[in-house]
Amino acid sequence: MNWQELSSSFANLWQTELYKAGDTQIYLSQVIIAFSLIVIGFIIVRWLGAHVVKRALKNSSSTENTVYAFRKLFSILAYILIVLIALPIAGIPITVFAVMGGALAIGVGFGAQNLLNNLISGVILIAERPIRIGDIVELEKERGRVEEIGNRCVRIRRYDGVHVLVPNSYFLEQRVVNWTLVSADIRSVVTVGVAYGSPVQKVHDLMLEAAVHDKVSADYPVEVFFDNFGDNALVFNLFFWTSVHQPMDIRRVQSDVRFNIERLFAENGVVVAFPQRDVHLDTSKPLEIHLKDPSEQKKGS
């Protein structure tokens, strides 16, 4: 095949008719041009959103969630605008979608329900903001920090560093606990049991002293409650508030407070209780005691 024949074949392929309805005709060349313009436009929008828009919003002292929400809204509107501009440039009339609407609706109904559901749910999450970037959320068996609200799913980073991808629609349809929706201040509790006979007022004072911590909020009272007379201990609860910015913040503060409690109890002679059982023997008749030779027991086995 010479160059002229190859060029003719390419020209015929380039002008291949893909769709025709009345006076409307769509060729392969138009689709390729429209697709190329859309891809280039999407790349430009992503670059603008990641650099220019983000930098401009940060210079205006906007919060991280405001920046993210504006970037998402800017991207969605820009993508729609690019499609509406690219199609006429390529010679594809927008009205063609009115003719193809029936078939497209059937295809969407059967094949893209979940995709559209999650896409629309993502827009609602960004607009309504029941969850935000940086929030600590608790799902059925997962707890972690929201890192990104995407077009299809929300990315959550768990305590152990593993990322969990949750569909956007889940946050609108299921029960979700948002620890930091209104405030980052979370109440925490440390429970300890001391031996019977311990000086309870002294225990109360020592537990209050143990709660002196740089991450325990001074805006709320620290309280100690004598909770119960347990089976093996006098049970006390220490309640305090701390500001949470990472999923592990609460556990770190709780651990520090427990270290303080153990140290202060040891210095002041307060015993942390442990399970105890009293065994009563029936002495109304002589006790029978049987001794076995271990060597004979091994032979028998």
- The residue among 182, 256, 171, 184 whose CA lies nearest residue 213 is 256
Q: Rounded mean pLDDT of 247-273?
A: 90
Q: Does the pLDDT value for residue 57 go beyond 60?
A: no
Strongest mean pLDDT among 33-37, 150-154, 192-196, 285-289: 192-196
Q: Which residues of 34-50 are buried (b: 16+ CB within 10 A; e: fewer)?
A: beebbeebeeebeebbe
pTM equals 0.58
Mean pLDDT of all residues in 67-79? 75
Residues 244-269 have a mean pLDDT of: 89
Tell me if residue 90 falls in helix, strand or coil. coil
What are the structure tokens assigned to 117, written together?
């559901």
- The average pLDDT across 44-67 equals 67
Given a contact cutoff of 8 angstroms between Cβ atoms, the answer to whether 192 and 261 are in contact is yes
Could you tell me which residue, 217 or 109, shows the higher pLDDT? Answer: 217
pLDDT band at 2 (very low <50, low <70, confident <90, very high): low
- The answer to which of 24-28, 138-142, 243-247 has the lowest mean pLDDT is 24-28
What does the pLDDT read at residue 128? 82
Give me the domains of the chain, ranges plus CATH numbers. 13-111 (1.10.287), 131-178 (2.30.30.60), 185-267 (3.30.70.100)
- Give the side-chain half-sphere CA count within 13 A for 240: 26
User: What are the strands of the beta sheet with 177-178, ordered from one edge?
Assistant: 163-167, 153-158, 143-149, 136-138, 177-178
- One-letter amino acid at 115 equals L
| Range of 19-28, 39-48, 79-88, 227-236 with top mean pLDDT | 227-236
Say which DSSP state 243 is in.
E
39 — pLDDT class (breaks 50, 70, 90): confident
Does pLDDT of 244 surpass 60? Answer: yes
pLDDT digits (tens, 9 = 90+) for 99-114: 555 555 555 555 567 7
Calculate mean pLDDT across residues 176-187: 85
Rounded distance, CA 257 to CA 189, Å?
A: 10
User: What average pLDDT does the chain have?
Assistant: 80
Question: Closest Cα to residue 90, out of 170, 31, 136?
Answer: 31
* Three-state SS annotation for 146-188: EEEECCCEEEEEECCCCEEEEECCHHHHCCCEECCCCCCEEEE
* pLDDT value at 262 more than 60: yes
Torsion of CA 206, 208, 211, 212, to 10 degrees: -90
Distance CA 66, CA 147 (A): 14
pLDDT of amino acid 54: 62
Mean pLDDT of 53-66: 61
- Give the percent of the chain with pLDDT over 70: 76
- Give the residue from 146, 152, 144 showing the smallest Cα distance to 132: 146
